[in-house]
Amino acid sequence: MFSTFLIALREGLEAALIIGILVAYLVRSNQRKGLPALWAGVSIAVIASLAFGAFLTFTSTQLSVAGEQVFAGTTSIVAVILVTYMVFWMKRIARGLKNELQSKLDYAMPLGKIALISAAFFAVAREGLETALFLFSNFKTVSTDSAPALGLILGLTVAIGLGIAIYKQSVKINLGKFFTITGTALLVIAGGVLSHGVHEFQEFGALPGEHAYVWNWIGANEIISTVLAGTIGIGTTLTWLQLVVWASFLALTLRAYLAPKKSVPAKV
């Protein structure tokens, strides 16, 4: 539940902030006539994201056991690559995101409604499609009960509420610290998803060491299983290859992500 809540909160708030920036710019620049087209683009992006998630789920259920293992392993690795890229991208672009989005609107407005719909769609769809893929992979990692779905709903609800409150300036949060903390947590979750992908390929036979366990807690306490899977994405069984991949991923990404920015010396 915790991991799906965090994913939905982080990605949902990013999308809400993007929408808020777009709406605020049209309102402030007296271009309210563009709002219907903007909301149309946002709506299409949301529908496309939901459809993509449904497609992944349906496809997974229609495959053979071996096919599902390859599919789950592949989607897990792709999701980790995309999320890792987006976390670092957001860290790099955060300060200039507002200007970038506004410049895209300035370019799209004179071209008509289709261009504005497209600008809004691509601004939001990037977050939505990435979130759908990552959530699908995370659902495969955590337990199959209703807790992950509840975490998803709560996370999106809080994200939408925060987005509206920030837009109306009724609440202020340090977005820099928020995204740094949640970005760190997402990388930890991504490490668990990557570990799960490795396990799927081990079960398929494409990777060695399927039964070379670091630990294998048969009949482990359900609370322990839920906490492990729902936070760091590591289950009650872990192979040595999974451990090496998981630890290496976290060591490399967290070190790079949390490294202080190098100060540029002033020109004399």
Within 10 angstroms of residue 78's Cβ, the number of other Cβ atoms is: 14
Q: 192 in a domain, yes or no?
A: yes
Percent of the chain at pLDDT above 70? Answer: 86
For the chain, give the mean pLDDT.
83
Higher pLDDT, 167 or 58: 58
- What would the mean pLDDT of 9-29 be, rounded to a whole number? 87
Q: 266 in a domain, yes or no?
A: no
pLDDT single digits (tens) 146-204: 566 787 888 888 888 888 887 777 667 777 788 888 888 889 888 888 988 898 899 89
pLDDT at position 39 is 92
pLDDT single digits (tens) 100-122: 888 888 888 888 889 989 988 98
Q: 264 in a domain, yes or no?
A: no
pLDDT single digits (tens) 205-223: 899 988 888 877 766 556 6
Residues ≥6 apart with Cβ < 8 Å to 57: 136
Contact (CB, 8 A) for 24 and 107: no
Q: 267 in a domain, yes or no?
A: no
Q: 265 in a domain, yes or no?
A: no
pLDDT at position 250 is 93
Among positive and negative, which fits the CA dihedral 95, 97, 98, 102? positive
* Segments forming the whole domain that contains residue 94: 2-258
pLDDT at position 265 is 52
- Of residues 219, 207, 217, the one with CA closest to residue 244: 207
Q: 75 in a domain, yes or no?
A: yes
What's the number of domains the chain is made of? 1
Q: Radius of gyration of the chain from Cα atoms?
A: 20
User: Is pLDDT of 248 > 70?
Assistant: yes
Q: Tell me how far apart the alpha carbons of residues 164 and 15 are, in angstroms, rounded to a whole number.
A: 11
Q: 25 in a domain, yes or no?
A: yes
